[in-house]
Structure 1
Amino acid sequence: MSSREQDFLAGIDYLIEGNPWQQEVYRALCRLGVMEVLGPYQPVLVGTVPLDVDIPGSDLDVVCHVEQERREVFEALLKGTFGSCEDFEYAAREVDGLLRQVGRFRYEGWVVEIFGQPLPVEEQNGYRHMVVEHRLLELLDDKGREAIRSLKLQGFKTEPAFARLLRLEGDPYKELRDMYLWSPEQLGALAARLTE
């Protein structure tokens, strides 16, 4: 696990040293107190902002580990703490046999989505996708980051943008999730295809 991957799990302090956009996200999330409120659920900010491939309108996604027996407590926490935020919505549904709880709202212009699942954060798709994307961006450098941003500005979601750039076939979400278990050599060989 790289030091950046450890940073992802440790909180959001690494954003302080990021670009101005990441620093603003850090300040907004601190003002909201989201990481402290969700502390018992091991919250992790995932998605495009930690990776520095966000574009205007990107969401702030926070994934949490919510054990099945605490689902009602988590729901009450989301509604009680963030229910007064602009455009607040709460939904719960089963996805792949697991209950997924989502609180979505707007705060200081940012769309914040909080996901709770009865899985450790490191096993959740949002986290695994981000880690794989981080590893790939480390191999692709700034040109890869700019290519992903360009595809996102054309309307691609993040995982389909990576799939397009890397010429992956099949379901991009599944492909990237499966790549979480790849060795550095396998990821390096895939990234090297872009220079062929």
Structure 2
Amino acid sequence: MLPDFTNINYLQHGNALQQAAFYVLKQSKILYHLEPFKPVLCGTLPINIFIEGSSDLDIICEVQDFDNLNEVLEANFKTFPGFSITIKPVHSTPSLICGFHVDNFLIEVFAQPIPVNQQAAYKHMLIEHYLLNTHGEQFREKIVELKKQGYKTEPAFAKLLNLKGEPYSALLELANEYLKQQLAG
């Protein structure tokens, strides 16, 4: 069964970093302000492979009107340290990327005109969650160690799993197969 990452309440019962992230997200009302854009916290923190100081809180959103999202972000977060917004194509899909700091966390809002459950970041997180649960705690520890050595998340998984080809694409293929099985079963 697929985990429900759409509600961050699970972070309250996680490790100290997950609990700190929960507090920051609640206190800053980031998800509240982004609610019209269906925000989902993705990346390494929800699946417990977050590396303090080198990972950020990735919030993906679905957006149809970039100007509207831009206004919401500027109205609510422009005064936060490091605030920036860029709109550019990512893999030929128009994308908005906004970054800023809240307490000790770098927040990155990533929005595309694609439902969040179909975005690559969400699919990567689901397959990584599945692989971590399937391969156990030693596997998770090895992923964390590779990340501490400078590996990005997907290349770390690809290395340990001996995946061929470009790591992001290879994991996305695994995710698509996993999701097909989940929907079929």
TM-score (structure 1 length as normaliser) = 0.88
Deviation (angstroms), 1:183? 4.3
For 2:177, what is the secondary structure of its paired residue?
coil
Contact 2:123-2:176 within 8 A present in 1 as well: no
Aligned to 1:151: 146
Q: Map Cα deviations across residues 140-184 of structure 1 (whole Å, 9 max, x no partner).
A: 111111000000000000000101111111110001111112249
Equivalent of residue 27 in structure 2, options 14, 26, 31: 31
Measured in 1, the distance between the counterparts of 2:176 and 2:106 equals 31
Aligned to 1:65: 62
Aligned length: 179
Aligned to 1:138: 133
Are 1:103 and 2:98 matched, yes or no? yes
What's the RMSD between the two structures over aligned residues?
1.3
Are 1:16 and 2:12 matched, yes or no? yes
Query: Equivalent pairs: percent with the same residue?
Result: 37
Which stretches of structure 1, 4 residues or more, deviate above 6 A after TM superposition?
none
For 2:47, the aligned partner's letter is L
More helix by share: 1
For 1:131, what is the secondary structure of its paired residue?
helix
Measured in 2, the distance between the counterparts of 1:12 and 1:116 equals 18
Gaps of 5+ in 1: 187-196
TM-score (structure 2 length as normaliser) = 0.93
Gaps of 5+ in 2: none
Aligned to 1:86: 81
For 1:52, what is the secondary structure of its paired residue?
coil
For 1:181, the aligned partner's letter is N
